[in-house]
A and B are shown apart, each in its own frame.
Chain A
Amino acid sequence: AQSVSQHNHHVILSEAASLELGCNYSYGGTVNLFWYVQYPGQHLQLLLKYFSGDPLVKGIKGFEAEFIKSKFSFNLRKPSVQWSDTAEYFCAVNVGGYNQGGKLIFGQGTELSVKP
């Protein structure tokens, strides 16, 4: 069965530290990849997405992610976190690609706490 795995459940960082959140998926076919963020008390919102082309994608608020097909990974990075980045981060995989696949599955989420 397809699945998405996020390695870290809770990450605690100080402001200005660098961030990398891991995401691996299990599916051998075409995928589209997403990172969503959920700030406290708010809806999930899209941070960035990959569907083709350059495997390094840039999103909002200085976030970026790199798709490594051989490793089935899509890790999220930010060079310097801020207190306002405190949130829960979800990796999601669209199985089947942009034209055939309607199934979108999420990882377990990683809670990020940034200390001021």
Chain B
Amino acid sequence: DGGITQSPKYLFRKEGQNVTLSCEQNLNHDAMYWYRQDPGQGLRLIYYSQIVNDFQKGDIAEGYSVSREKKESFPLTVTSAQKNPTAFYLCASREHPYNSPLHFGNGTRLTVT
């Protein structure tokens, strides 16, 4: 079955360490997204990519980095510069044109202590 796979489901890190969250899709979608979901704040866009080897900052990109070397993969690195990294991270993808709905992964809950 086609879908989006995020791994791991739970991730624990010490403060000061970088951590990379995986997102893989086999839907052949061009566009991929990373959102952060916090209670009362909805989904906030971190980064998005409309095509391989290209990506744009979202509204809260500081302290995060991404790469898009392959169409099916869009990993997110949470760096030590991110001041409040503990959150639930959602990866999503969709096909062009952009009135199409998002497909979401199951999410990764990151806890930094």
Partners in one complex: yes
A80→B94 CA distance, assembly (Å)? 32
**Cβ of B41 and Cβ of A99 under 8 Å apart?**
no
B contacts with A, residue count (CB < 8 A): 22
Of A6, A36, A96, A109, the contact of B98 (CB 8 Å cutoff): A96
Q: Which B residues are closer than 8 A to A by beta carbons? A: 31, 33, 35, 40-45, 48, 50, 56, 58-59, 90, 97-99, 101-102, 104, 106
**Cβ of B42 and Cβ of A106 under 8 Å apart?**
yes
Closest B residue to A91 by beta carbon equals B42
**Cβ of B106 and Cβ of A43 under 8 Å apart?**
yes
Closest CB of chain B to A108's CB: distance in Å? Answer: 4
Closest CB of chain A to B54's CB: distance in Å? Answer: 10
Given contacts A34-B101, A102-B31, A102-B98, 15 further A-B contacts (CB under 8 A): A44-B104, A46-B102, A49-B99, A97-B98, A98-B97, A103-B48, A104-B33, A104-B45, A104-B102, A105-B45, A105-B59, A106-B45, A107-B42, A109-B41, A109-B42
